[in-house]
Structure 1
Amino acid sequence: MSVTIKDVAKKANVAPSTVSRVISDSSRISEKTKRKVRKVMEEMGYHLNINGRVLVRQSTQTIGIVMKNSSSHSLHNPFFFEVLRGISNVCHEHQYSINLTTGDSEEAIFQDVVHMVQGKRVDGIVVLYSKEDDKVVPYLQEQNFPFVMIGKPLLYSGNIMYVDNDNVQASKEVTDFLFQRGHRNIGFVGGDFHFEVTNARLSGYQLSLMEHGREKREEWIKHMELDNQDANKVVAELLDLPNRPSALVITDDYQALSIMQALQSKGITVPDDISIVCFNDTIISKLSNPSMTTVDTQSYQLGYASASSLIELLTNEEMMKRSIIIPTNIIERDSSTRLNNPVG
């Protein structure tokens, strides 16, 4: 016979209603009691009847995840893997499953979202980006469907819950870091400028330039996607300049690795010939050669906070929507160096 809630309640010496509240992670139950009841559940091999719970609550116990690109493309970047790890751990704690978009184009991803919503396949959605001309977020708003964004919302109407870093300030600080180490000619390499995160980091870079009395030079600001062809093109264009940067701010350490490899293929040494700083502090920045100076954006916490906020929104109808800013810090490694005789 399967173990019931009453069996768990009897062994834990609590009321069956307490066990039910522990299962739903009610805030009315103390953490001490939750730990005791969960331990008994584990010892007795109690498993929640998800199908029955779905019927009673009209809940799928599933959260949808909308990827920035196709899942195969996005998961090449360890940043998204860390975000998903944070989301997954929250879902495990609350007994939710995850449903990822798998489309290989923006339209296909949007259709995945429509199927999630119209087919009642998920209870809520975490959107892993903020982007101009995006169809997903306006659609979720029109459907009044629960969602949380990772990234600051753009020109959408209404109160949107989101989790983000202060990317403007973080980028300004890491550009200041280079100025403090004697660099004067500092370039910027960003991803797709349709995404809010790229523009926020560009804004921070520009603020630092202004504060240090340096004019923005368009030829030092480059755009690239994730592939090595873009990195080779960016590096070729920078090396062809009569006055090239002594340092680069790169908006993602996955892109930074591609840039470093392209520089090395041209005989340019990092950091002796050019310094590099980047963002996210994934495993790439630790294991690259040289290891990368980077802004730790706490990608796991971005995922964890977004999923926690969404589940709270789903379980507490009176919850006030809010934004959460995850702090950042600079981790200095070997890809940046101090210039003793600044030029320019």
Structure 2
Amino acid sequence: MAVTIKDVAKKAGVSPSTVSRVLSNHPRISAETSRKVKDIMDQLGYHPNIMAKSLVSKTTNSICIMLPKSAEELFSNFFFMELIRGIVTQASRLGYDVLISSGANEKEEIEGVSRLINGRRVDGVILLYSRKDDPVIDFLHENGHHFVLIGRSEQYPDILSVDNDNVQASYDATKHLISLGHERIGFVSGPPDLVVSKDRLKGYLDALHDSGLEMRPEWIVEGEFLQDSGYRAMSFFMNLPNRPTGIVLIDDVVSFGVLRGLHELKYKVPEDLCLVSFNNIPLSELSTPPLSSIDIGIYNLGYTASQVLIQSIQNNNDKSYQKRQIIPHRLMVRESSMYSISKK
């Protein structure tokens, strides 16, 4: 016979309503009582009936992660894996399951999210990216659904979001190269429809302007968050008659493509070209040479996004907490940018 809430309550010496509150993470239940009840649940092998609980509470205790369209980009970039790890860790701690949705285009993304929310399978959505004029954000915002954006929305500055100050982060990366004496500095950007690409480009341009340095259009290359984009950008830069001596790259994975191409052409980093990148994924420290990279706190971005979304769900869009959370960044200086231009 299946173990019931009443069985758990009797053995724990509490009321069935207390057990129900423990299951729903009610704030008025003490940590000691919660721990005691959960221990009894484990001993008895009790598993709550999620469907029944959903009907009573009108919640699912599940959230959705909306993946970017490009599966190739997702599974070849450690950024997304670490982001998802942070989301799942905090969601699990708060008693929420995580579902994943994706689509080949914007229409499929909206249809997928709509099925999950309107079908009462999830309570809210986390978007892992921030696009300009994003119809998915339009749909979620206009229909009053719970969601949080990892990034910054130009359409809706008042929505829940978790982000870095990407303008300042890119400014800091560029100024680091300038401090080493570099005057010809290139920038490898991401897709132009992403807000993060726009913000990091702005930081780069602001740093050049504030330092009185020249900006040349040919020193800015757009691409994807893939190794091949870095490889192609490197080939372009190294064939310029007046090539950059330092480059700011929008992502570590892109930097690996640059390093691969430079190695094939017998160029050395940092002697022939200094590099500063973003995200500080674990492999950036293990590359040859180790990459200087802006640590944006990827895990904390996901962890905080999960926390903010679940707070919004449980408090029904309470207005008392901050809408936009900014995760601090820091520059990790390594061998790829430890070479002053004055030494050349």
Establish whether TM, by shorter chain, passes 0.5. yes
The secondary structure found in structure 2 opposite 1:330 is strand
- Structure 1 equivalent of residue 181 of structure 2: 182
- The match for 2:68 is 68
Of the structure 1 ranges 233-242 and 195-204, higher mean CA displacement relative to structure 2 is found in 233-242
SS at match of 1:136: helix
Cα distance change, pair 342–211 in 1 and its aligned pair in 2 (3 A): farther
SS at match of 2:134: coil
Letter in 2 for 1:191: G
1:206 matched to 2:205? The reply is yes
CA contact 1:279–1:295 (8 Å) conserved in 2: yes
Report the identity percentage. Answer: 39
Deviation at 1:122, TM superposition (A): 1.8
Contact 1:71 1:100 in 2 (8 A): no
Paired AA for residue 263 in structure 1: L
Deviates more, 1:82-91 or 1:41-50: 41-50
Q: How many residues align?
A: 342
CA deviation vs aligned residue, 1:50-91 (integer Å, no higher than 9, x gap): 121112123233211111224453122110111111111122
Query: What aligned pairs does 1:108-187 form with structure 2 within 5 A after superposition?
Result: 108-156=108-156, 159-187=158-186
Counterpart residue identity of residue 208, structure 2? L
Provide closer, same or farther for how the CA distance between residues 43 and 327 of structure 1 changes in structure 2, counting only shifts above 3 A.
farther
How do 1:284-295 and structure 2 match up within 5 A? 284-295=283-294
Counterpart-to-counterpart distance in 2, 1:340 and 1:136: 46
Partner of residue 243, structure 1: 242
Distance 1:36 1:338, change over 3 A: farther
In structure 1, list runs of 5 or more residues that go unmatched: none
> How far is 1:238 from its partner?
0.8
Q: 2-side partners of 1:172 and 1:331: how far apart?
A: 14
- Residue number in structure 2 paired with 1:314: 313
Match of 1:331 in 2: 332
Offset at residue 342 of structure 1 (A): 6.8
Contact 2:167 2:200 in 1 (8 A): yes
- 1:220-231 maps to which residues of 2 (within 5 A)? 220-231=219-230
Report the Cα offset of residue 40 of structure 1: 3.3
Equivalent residues of 2:182, 2:341 under 8 A apart: no
One-letter code of the match for 1:113?
V
Q: Which runs of 5+ in 2 are unaligned?
A: none
Q: What TM-score do you get using the length of structure 1 for normalisation?
A: 0.92
CA contact (8 A) 2:255 2:277 kept: yes
Change (3 A) 1:290 1:107: farther
- SS of 1:197's equivalent? helix
Decide whether aligned partners of structure 1 residues 228 and 70 sit closer, same or farther in structure 2, where only a CA change above 3 A counts: closer
Contact 1:188 1:202 in 2 (8 A): yes
Q: How many Å separate the matches in 2 of 1:230 and 1:294?
A: 18
Match of 2:28, SS? Answer: coil
1:261-276 alignment, distance < 5 Å: 261-276=260-275
For residue 76 of structure 2, give the secondary structure of its aligned residue in structure 1: coil
CA RMSD of aligned residues (A): 2.1
Aligned equivalents of 1:234 and 1:72: distance in 2?
A: 19
Q: If the length of structure 2 is used for normalisation, what is the TM-score?
A: 0.92
